[in-house]
């Protein structure tokens, strides 16, 4: 239920914007959102998501449409070192960054949903205790 993409030629900052957008979405909504986004990173992450879906259906025999994007991490890879010519024979160095993208699909946590519903139910049933006014301590006057 995982897919990795190593050393793809896009800056990690640009790829991370799109990764934040789809993190936690279900697969169908993420594919729809990526298809409507006009960014290079959206095309790359969409292709990676298709690969994760294929891995899930072929290797694990799971229905990918019921899954969500549990984890998507964009890390910085190596960088190409390039230079722009300047005056007097000098060069201005700059780097072109590569990215490593990891994507993991999973099922929505039913246990967490049940647990949060149970705690909300318990909190509504607990009696509220009154705070006693005598419990508050008044500050004593300073003696000089």
Look at residue 68 and tell me whether its pLDDT is greater than 70: yes
Look at residue 116 and tell me whether its pLDDT is greater than 70: no
Domain annotation covers residue 138: no
Domain annotation covers residue 128: no
Domain annotation covers residue 115: no
Domain annotation covers residue 131: no
Which whole number is the average pLDDT over 113-121?
61
| CATH assignment at residue 7 | 3.90.470.10
The structural domain count of the chain equals 1
Which whole number is the average pLDDT over 80-103?
97
**Tens digits of residue pLDDT in 71-82:** 999 999 999 999
Per-residue model confidence (pLDDT) at position 109? 82
Domain annotation covers residue 61: yes
Cα-based distances in Å from 17 to 33, 55, 64: 13, 25, 24
Where helices occur in the chain by DSSP H, the ranges are 12-22, 27-36, 40-59, 110-125
Which has more pLDDT, 128 or 91? 91
Domain annotation covers residue 123: no
pTM, two decimal places:
0.73
Residue-number span of the structural domain to which 72 is assigned: 2-83+93-109
H-helix or E-strand spanning residue 71: strand 68-85
**Tens digits of residue pLDDT in 9-54:** 999 999 999 999 999 999 999 999 999 999 999 999 999 999 999 9
Domain annotation covers residue 122: no
- CA torsion through residues 62, 65, 69, 75, sign: positive
* Mean pLDDT taken over the chain: 87
The percent of residues above 90 in pLDDT, for the chain, comes to 69
Domain annotation covers residue 126: no
Per-residue model confidence (pLDDT) at position 64? 87
């Amino acid at each position: 239920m995982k897919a990795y993409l190593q050393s793809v030629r896009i800056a990690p900052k640009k790829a991370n914007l799109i990764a934040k957008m789809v993190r936690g979405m279900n697969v169908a909504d993420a594919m729809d959102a990526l298809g409507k986004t006009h960014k290079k990173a959206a095309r790359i992450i969409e292709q990676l998501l298709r690969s994760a879906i294929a891995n899930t259906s072929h290797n694990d025999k799971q229905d990918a449409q019921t899954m969500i994007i549990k984890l998507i991490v964009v890390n910085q890879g190596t960088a190409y070192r390039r230079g722009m010519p300047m005056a007097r024979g000098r060069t201005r160095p700059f780097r072109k960054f590569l990215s490593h993208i990891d994507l993991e699909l999973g099922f929505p946590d039913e246990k967490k949903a049940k647990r949060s519903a149970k705690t909300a139910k318990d909190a509504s049933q607990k009696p509220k205790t009154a705070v006693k006014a005598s419990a508050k301590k008044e500050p004593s006057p300073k003696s000089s």
